[in-house]
Chains A and B, each alone.
Chain A
Amino acid sequence: MSIFVCIKQVPDTETKIQISADGNGIETGAIKWIVNPYDEFAIEEALKLKASTGADKIYAVSVGPQKRAQDALRIALAMGCDEAVIIDSEESFDTMTTAKLVKAAVLKTGEPSLILTGKSSIDDNSQAFTQQLAALFEAPHANNLVKITVSGDKSLEVEREIEGGSKEIISLTGLAVLGATKGLNSPRYPSLPGIMKAKKKPVHTYAAGDLGVELTTKVKFSDYQMPAPQPPTRILNGEVDAQVDELVNLLKNESKVL
């Protein structure tokens, strides 16, 4: 029984986004790709849970163009994951088709006891993959997790962040899909020996078209636009009292937000 961690490559948060010539995507030429930050929490948690869940291996899984997916998976392997699974595709799919591909590849590779993901990805913020993958496995999911504990009988107790700083405590048994968020742990940096070892770890590659999944996309993005240019900022001058009076007046009477 193994732990599978799903990771995605996303543009670095420092990236200046530029829209491609056809308007249906972004320029990817100059982008530095990183592992989606929430997925790093999932990787770290898998490494921490390996012993207590009795898992024999941790597989890191990613869908994407071979080279880009491999770069992301190398990081997961260098952090300590055992093997990598690439679902190779130049085309990108909606979260549902991605989840179907991941399910098929997972079942071809091993027997999952636990699946970990990041709670969402910082590029398109679809917030759907974790829940859809769980539904496909007919397994429960719990997302936005800040704590995961494993009891002696291998059942899980997780703490999930909900709204307004509130939390839910959830218990889960059997296969579950869990989404990690910030606060769960502090992901380790890959060590030099880790990076060396990663080069020799097994990488399984499947072509997206070979997994028996219909490659359709029901959620399509097009007509990308940059935000409207910002009108110039109005800097309020004078003494503090005058600044505050003017600000309150503007908020009430000009922009009418109070």
Chain B
Amino acid sequence: MYKALVFLETAKGKVKKSSFELTEWCIANGVEFEGVIFESNNDEITNQCKSAGVKQVTLVSDGTDYNSVTWSKTFSNLISNGFNLVLGSSSVRGTDFFARTSALANGAFVADCTELALNGEKLEIRKPLYAGKCTCAVELSGSGPKMILMRANQLPSSTERSESTNFVEHKLEGTSENLKVKETILGDSQRTDLTEANIVVSGGRGMKEASNFKLLEDLADTLGATVGASRAVTDDGWVPHSMQVGQTGKTVAPSLYIACGISGAVQHLAGMSGSKVIVAINNDPDAPIFKKSTYGIVGDVFEVVPKLTEKLKSVL
């Protein structure tokens, strides 16, 4: 029998949608679970937990500011209260402190998973390797907790429920004399992170110059998407490295990936091939990206993209 602790990750005072994919998985599989939030409660969070059907949540209100040392210490102590399964999203924060916690809690830890199923008592887990060139099954063993981070958008979203949620407070534990987070500098992008985005609009060398990424920004704004890029253009400094999709950048798996002026080097294809639907827009009919796409338009990005933005504005 599994008893799960689910890390409900917050950003801007709200729990991320991807966290509730995990509580939904627990409910659907009849796994008893509790949530943990490193933030003080607010109306938004209360409503979110209620409608996701989360009955029990531990709040670490004094842990709002992220610190890998104290978070890991606190989290491993919470896990030791009888939890043998620990779930979270494979985000920057999730991987950072889950991995550290796994060393403290003597757990078996795996990140970046794309499949999770429960067959009797057996957890069936799969993850991509070599940036998606192949996948493998993952078996977790040992006497400690099994700690699993799932990629966002891989499990069904939570359905609307109505539960009353019991919130209990827990003090942040441990001290962090040797590590202090002095400042967080917010990026200019208010968009969802690439790895969690439901729609990604990506540009490559075919965009000709940095300023033309404005066209992709416009398309992304219309779709509520996040903008990505190929290695060629991040290496040239058109956009920051943090926007690179590929084997040496970010691996993405959105519902919709729109590749504009990207020819499709094998490393780029590896980083985005987990996307459900791929649209390629490129003027070269022989570009490798067309072999990986669901839909292709052979044409001029400077003509197609603005028209696509305009059309979407009228229908969405």
Q: A residues within 8 Å of B by Cβ?
A: 11, 13-17, 19, 26, 37-38, 94-96, 99, 122-132, 134-136, 139-144, 146, 157, 161-174, 176, 181-183, 216, 218-227, 230-231, 233-236, 240-241, 243-245, 247-248, 250-252, 255, 257-258
Are A222 and B136 in contact, CB atoms less than 8 angstroms apart? yes
Which B residues between 189 and 231 are near A, CB-CB below 8 angstroms?
Answer: 189-193, 196, 199, 223
- Do A218 and B141 touch (CB < 8 A)? yes
Contact B255 A123 (CB under 8 A): no
Determine how close the nearest CB of chain A comes to the CB of B239; give it in whole angstroms: 10
Structural contact, A255 and B291, CB atoms closer than 8 A: no
Residues from chain A with Cβ under 8 Å of B142 in the complex: 216, 218
8 Å CB contact of B299 from A127, A224, A243: A243
Given A167-B185, A222-B136, A243-B297, A127-B256 contact (CB < 8 Å):
no
A131-B103, A247-B297, A257-B199 given; A13·B183 CB < 8 A: no
| 17 A-B pairs with C-beta separation under 8 A | A13-B267, A38-B248, A128-B111, A131-B103, A134-B100, A140-B179, A168-B181, A176-B179, A182-B241, A183-B241, A219-B138, A220-B140, A230-B291, A236-B296, A243-B299, A247-B295, A257-B276
Residues of chain A lying within 8 A (CB to CB) of residue B304:
240, 243-244
Whether A126 contacts B132 in the complex (CB less than 8 A), given A136-B103, A167-B184, A247-B297, comes out as no
Check if B241 sits within 8 Å of A127, measured CB to CB: no
Residues of chain B within 8 A (CB-CB) of A17 are 129-130, 133-134
B81 at the interface (CB under 8 A from A): no
State whether the Cβ of B290 lies closer than 8 Å to any Cβ in chain A: yes
CB distance from A251 to the nearest CB of B (A): 7
Task: Identify B130's interface contact among A123, A161, A241, CB under 8 A.
Answer: A123
Cβ of B108 and Cβ of A143 under 8 Å apart? no
Distance A162 CA – B195 CA, assembled complex (angstroms): 12
Contacts of B66 in A (CB 8 A): 168
> What separation, in Å, do the CA atoms of A181 and B244 have in the docked complex?
12
Known: A127-B111, A128-B99, A245-B311. A219 touches B140 (CB 8 A): yes
Most buried by B among A123, A183, A235: A235
| Cα A250 to Cα B297 with chains together (Å) | 13
Contacts of B244 in A (CB 8 A): 182
Chain B residues with CB under 8 Å of A146's CB are: 241
The listed residue (A134, A165, A182, A224) touching B248 by CB distance below 8 A is: A182
Whether B69 sits at the interface, judged by CB under 8 Å, is yes
List residues of chain B with CB within 8 A of the CB of A167: 184-185, 187
Contact assessment for B100 and A166 in the assembled complex, using a CB-CB cutoff below 8 Å: no
Contact of A162 among B72, B93, B273 (CB under 8 A): B93
Rounded to whole angstroms, the CA-CA distance of A163 and B244 in the bound complex is: 13
**Within residues 52 to 93 of chain B, which ones have a CB less than 8 A from any CB in chain A?**
66, 68-69, 72, 90-93
Contact A221 B129 (CB under 8 A): yes
Please tell me if the beta carbons of B99 and A124 are within 8 angstroms of each other in the complex.
no
Across-interface contacts of A231 in B (CB, < 8 A): 294
CA of A225 to CA of B72, assembled, Å: 34
Contacts of A127 in B (CB 8 A): 90, 95, 99, 111-112
Q: Known contacts being A167-B187, A240-B299, is A224 close to B179, with CB within 8 Å?
A: no
Is B176 touching A140 in the complex (CB atoms < 8 A)? yes
Least CB distance, A130 to chain B, in whole angstroms: 8
What is the distance, in angstroms, from A181's C-beta to the closest C-beta of chain B? 8
Interface pairs A-B: 4 shortest CB-CB: A165-B187, A135-B103, A140-B179, A131-B99
Which residues of A lie under 8 Å from residue B299 when comparing CB positions?
240, 243
**Given A125-B251, A183-B241, A248-B315 in contact, is the A224-B308 Cβ separation under 8 Å?**
no
Instruction: Report the bound CA distance from A223 to B139 in whole Å.
Output: 10
CB distance from A21 to the nearest CB of B (A): 14
Residues of B within 8 A of A124 (CB): 129
Chain A residues within an 8 Å CB radius of B138: 219-221
Question: Chain B contacts of A13 at CB under 8 A?
Answer: 247-248, 266-267, 270
CA–CA, A38 and B131, complex, Å = 14
Residue contact B311 to A96, C-beta cutoff 8 Å: no
Given contacts A171-B180, A251-B279, 5 further A-B contacts (CB under 8 A): A37-B248, A38-B248, A164-B191, A168-B66, A230-B292
Interface presence of B298 (CB below 8 A): yes
Partner of B296, one of A11, A14, A222, A233: A233
Q: Confirm or deny: B260 has a beta carbon within 8 angstroms of a beta carbon on chain A.
A: no
Give the residues from 228 to 271 in chain B that come closer than 8 angstroms, CB to CB, to chain A.
Answer: 240-244, 247-249, 251, 255-256, 266-267, 270
